[in-house]
C-alpha cells in the first residue's frame, strides 16, 4: 500500500525554479546520487531548463509541497514508437526527504506517463547503494530488469547500476492509501 500526500503536486518546471535546482545541485547528497560530472552553475541550470522545455522528448516537472518547490521529476527519452520514457527524480530540500514527498511525486509522474501520455513502460536507472530510492521504486511497481556492472562512480568506488522498469498494467495494481 502506498501513502499519497495530498499537498504534493507537480507543475511544469520553469526557469523560475533554476535557483533552487542550482542550490540542490551544490548539495553533495543530490549531486553524488545523480552522478554529476562537472560543478553546477546557475547559468548551466537555466540553460538546461530552457532546452528541456523546447525538447519534445523531455517532460520536466517541479515538485511542490503547497507552494514550496522541493524537488524535480523528469520524464525524458520519450519514445512514441515504444510508448516508453525514462524517469528521474530527486527531492532537493533536505527537510522533505524521507517524508513521503518523493513517493507521492513519483506516483504523480507515473500517473502522468501512463494515463495522460499513454505510455506502456517507464524505466529508470539507480546506483546499487541508493537503498531508499530502490525501496520506493519497488513499492510503486518497478521491477529489476537488469544490472549494469561498474556503471556508476561514487566516493572513489565503482558501483553497479540497477535498470528497473514498470509497465502500465503493473502500475494500475498499486494500492493507494
Query: How many angstroms separate the Cα of 120 from the Cα of each of 36, 49, 87, 140, 163?
Result: 29, 26, 13, 15, 16
Q: What is the pLDDT of residue 36?
A: 87
What number is the average pLDDT over the span 78-91? 97
Q: What percent of the chain has pLDDT over 70?
A: 100
Confidence at residue 15, expressed as pLDDT on a 0 to 100 scale = 97
The C-alpha cell of 135 is what?
525501496
Q: Is the pLDDT of residue 55 over 90?
A: yes
Kindly state the percentage of the chain with pLDDT values over 90: 89
Helix ranges (H only) for 96-143 are 101-111, 131-139
Sequence spans of domains, the chain? 8-172
Class of domain 8-172: alpha beta
pLDDT score for 48? 96
Nearest to 125 by CA among 70, 74, 60: 74
Task: Please give the sequence-ordered ranges of beta strands (E in DSSP) within 23-174, or none if there are none.
Answer: 58-65, 68-79, 84-91, 121-127, 143-154, 157-167
How confident is residue 76, by pLDDT bands cut at 50, 70 and 90? very high
Q: What confidence category does residue 176 fall into, taking pLDDT thresholds of 50, 70 and 90?
A: confident
Share the mean pLDDT of the chain: 95
Cα-Cα-Cα-Cα dihedral sign, residues 75, 33, 153, 138 = negative
Grid cell, residue 96, equals: 522533505
pLDDT tens digits along 5-37: 999 999 999 999 999 999 999 998 898 888 888
Strands 58-65 and 68-79: antiparallel
From 26-35, 106-115, 141-150, the region with the lowest mean pLDDT: 26-35
CB atoms within 10 A of CB 89: 21
The reported pLDDT for the residue numbered 103 is: 96
Amino acid at each position: 500500500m502506498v501513502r499519497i500526500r495530498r499537498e504534493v503536486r507537480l507543475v511544469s518546471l520553469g526557469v523560475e525554479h533554476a535557483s533552487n535546482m542550482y542550490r540542490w545541485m551544490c548539495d553533495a547528497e543530490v549531486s553524488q546520487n545523480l552522478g554529476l560530472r562537472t560543478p553546477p552553475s546557475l547559468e548551466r541550470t537555466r540553460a538546461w531548463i530552457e532546452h528541456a522545455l523546447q525538447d519534445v522528448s523531455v517532460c520536466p516537472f517541479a515538485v511542490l509541497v503547497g507552494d514550496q518547490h522541493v524537488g524535480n521529476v523528469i520524464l525524458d527519452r520519450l519514445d512514441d514508437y515504444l510508448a516508453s520514457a525514462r524517469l528521474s527524480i530527486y527531492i532537493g530540500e533536505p527537510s522533505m526527504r524521507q517524508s513521503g514527498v518523493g513517493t507521492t511525486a513519483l506516483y504523480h509522474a507515473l500517473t502522468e506517463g501512463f494515463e495522460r501520455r499513454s505510455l506502456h513502460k517507464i524505466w529508470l536507472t539507480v546506483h546499487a547503494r541508493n537503498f531508499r530510492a530502490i525501496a520506493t521504486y519497488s513499492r510503486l511497481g518497478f521491477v529489476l530488469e537488469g544490472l549494469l556492472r561498474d556503471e556508476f562512480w561514487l566516493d572513489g568506488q565503482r558501483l553497479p547500476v540497477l535498470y528497473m522498469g514498470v509497465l502500465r498494467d503493473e502500475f494500475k495494481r498499486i494500492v493507494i492509501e
